């Protein structure tokens, strides 16, 4: 069956305001900003609102027309348990007359007296459980990403090996040339011109080696993935000059976000090992509550790569920061030493 003449004429006469409505209803828009634009139009233009309702009803029918499937009974039980947990958390928040996120837990505990009251202990456990659940959800998604990245890492390791081999060959060549120069001087009595010329060659090779060495240290899977998988670097993190200690003056990091989708990668170099009992924590700031993305360890040379899913586009956050927080006890706000930070917009 082919499209009729009427359909084609409708195509030509499509009102630009309605252009993305069907895509919005079908969940087929490509970017978050397109969705926001449509939502704004729906909100302020009655004609668009009416058109939206008509199209949305059709999509509604598509869902309704799918034959129902009975889920396992355990699903309802799980949902009701989660609702119960939410309810308990909300009740305790209300009882304290103080939003949980206003202060770090330890400050609230200290304020309540020398001994932590039973109520505070319950609060910590409940809030911890809620955060733990959210972290678990995020953790599952990150595990999937990590598995994919592991595959890419193999390819990068091969690249690094190639670079290492090139560097080693080049360094051997420099050493050989120096040895040859010594032989020439001993055997033939080198002229000043010859020595200068050969020294220049050695110097030049030395520069090449330095460049190779730098490339080797910078080389990582991200370089590979960036070109292959459509990531682009969105933010460069630098040492926080006001608070950074002298032990990590060269630390730096970056966040790359996939051009389509919400996958993101954070990579850091040059961080010292965190103090005992602490781990580095990446936070997204400035869009409601601070959001801890992940705690991570660094390698012997202070590097780490973290894959995560952005809850919202990076531009929605004002900054990203890295702090040291206690292992497995991330508060609702960053409280530890800030080592890296960057503005995102």
Partner 1 sequence: MNYQGLEDLELLAKIGEQDRQALAALYDRYGRRVFALAVRMLNDTVGSEEVTQDVFMSVWRRGASYTLKKGKFTTWLFSIAHNRTIDELRKRRRDRSRENADIDDHLNIQSGDISPADAAVAQSEYAKMRAAMEKLPVEQKSVVDLSYFKGLTQTEIALKTGQPLGTVKTRMRLALKKLRTSLSDEIGAQA
87 lines the binding site for partner 1 (CB under 8 A): yes
59 lines the binding site for partner 1 (CB under 8 A): yes
Asked if residue 317 lies in contact with residue 311, where contact means CB atoms within 8 angstroms, the answer is no
The structure tokens listed for 111 are: 């304020």
Nearest approach, Cβ of 143 to partner 1 (angstroms)?
Answer: 11
Nearest approach, Cβ of 154 to partner 1 (angstroms)?
Answer: 17
Stretch that binds partner 1, among 47-55, 200-208, 249-257, 318-326 (CB under 8 A): 47-55
Taking the least distance from each CB to partner 1, the nearer of 90 and 195 is 90
What span, in angstroms and rounded, lies between the C-alpha atoms of 336 and 286? Answer: 18
Stretch that binds partner 1, among 77-85, 97-105, 248-256, 286-294 (CB under 8 A): 77-85
Asked if residue 233 lies in contact with residue 256, where contact means CB atoms within 8 angstroms, the answer is yes
222-261 footprint of partner 1 as x/- string (CB under 8 A): ---------------------------------------x
16 lines the binding site for partner 1 (CB under 8 A): no
Taking the least distance from each CB to partner 1, the nearer of 86 and 328 is 86
- Give residues 142-161 in contact with partner 1 (rule: CB under 8 A): 144, 148
Asked if residue 219 lies in contact with residue 324, where contact means CB atoms within 8 angstroms, the answer is no
SS3 274: coil
Asked if residue 41 lies in contact with residue 17, where contact means CB atoms within 8 angstroms, the answer is yes
- The residue within the footprint of partner 1, chosen from 17, 37, 55, 126 (CB under 8 A), is 55
Asked if residue 251 lies in contact with residue 280, where contact means CB atoms within 8 angstroms, the answer is no
Torsion of CA 189, 195, 197, 201, to 10 degrees: 120
- The residue within the footprint of partner 1, chosen from 5, 46, 64, 154 (CB under 8 A), is 64
What span, in angstroms and rounded, lies between the C-alpha atoms of 281 and 77? Answer: 34
What span, in angstroms and rounded, lies between the C-alpha atoms of 134 and 127? Answer: 11
Taking the least distance from each CB to partner 1, the nearer of 151 and 241 is 151
Beta bridge partners of 236: 254
95 lines the binding site for partner 1 (CB under 8 A): no
Closest among 279, 269, 267, 257 to 300, alpha carbons compared: 269
Closest among 277, 208, 226, 217 to 252, alpha carbons compared: 217
Stretch that binds partner 1, among 8-16, 100-108, 178-186, 321-329 (CB under 8 A): 8-16
| CB-count exposure of residue 324 (10 Å: 0-12, 13-18, 19+) | buried
Stretch that binds partner 1, among 60-68, 119-127, 156-164, 220-228 (CB under 8 A): 60-68
- The residue within the footprint of partner 1, chosen from 80, 110, 196, 238 (CB under 8 A), is 80
- Positions touching partner 1 (CB under 8 A) are 1-4, 7, 10-11, 14, 18-23, 25-30, 43, 49, 52-72, 75-76, 78-80, 82-84, 86-87, 90, 141, 144, 148, 261, 263
């Amino acid at each position: 069956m082919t499209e009729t003449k009427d359909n084609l004429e409708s195509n030509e006469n499509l009102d630009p305001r309605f252009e993305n409505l069907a895509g919005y209803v079908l969940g087929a828009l490509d970017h978050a900003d397109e969705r926001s634009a449509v939502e704004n139009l729906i909100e302020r233009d009655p004609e668009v609102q009416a058109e939206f309702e008509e199209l949305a009803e059709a999509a509604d029918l598509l869902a309704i027309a799918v034959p129902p499937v009975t889920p396992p009974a355990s699903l309802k039980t799980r949902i009701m348990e989660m609702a119960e947990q939410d309810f308990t958390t909300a009740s305790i928040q209300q009882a304290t007359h103080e939003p949980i996120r206003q202060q770090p837990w330890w400050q609230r505990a200290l304020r309540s007296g020398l001994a932590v009251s039973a109520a505070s202990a319950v609060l910590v456990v409940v809030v911890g459980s809620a955060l733990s659940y959210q972290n678990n959800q995020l953790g599952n998604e990150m595990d999937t990403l990590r598995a994919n990245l592991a595959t890419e890492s193999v390819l990068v390791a091969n690249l690094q090996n190639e670079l290492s081999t090139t560097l080693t060959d080049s360094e051997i060549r420099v050493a050989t040339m120096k040895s040859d120069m010594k032989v020439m001087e001993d055997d033939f009595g080198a002229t000043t011109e010859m020595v200068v010329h050969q020294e220049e060659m050695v110097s030049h090779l030395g520069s090449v080696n330095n460049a190779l060495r730098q490339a080797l240290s910078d080389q990582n899977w991200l370089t590979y993935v960036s070109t292959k998988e459509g990531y682009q670097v969105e933010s460069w993190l630098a040492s926080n000059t006001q608070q950074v200690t002298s032990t990590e003056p060269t630390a730096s990091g970056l966040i790359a976000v996939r051009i389509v989708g919400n996958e993101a990668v954070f990579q850091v170099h040059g961080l010292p090992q965190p103090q005992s009992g602490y781990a580095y924590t990446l936070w997204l700031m400035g869009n409601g509550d601070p959001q801890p993305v992940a705690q991570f360890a660094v390698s012997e040379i202070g590097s780490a790569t973290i894959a995560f899913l952005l809850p919202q586009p990076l531009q929605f956050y004002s900054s990203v920061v890295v702090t040291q927080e206690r292992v497995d006890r991330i508060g609702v706000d960053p409280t530890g030493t800030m080592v890296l930070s960057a503005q995102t917009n």
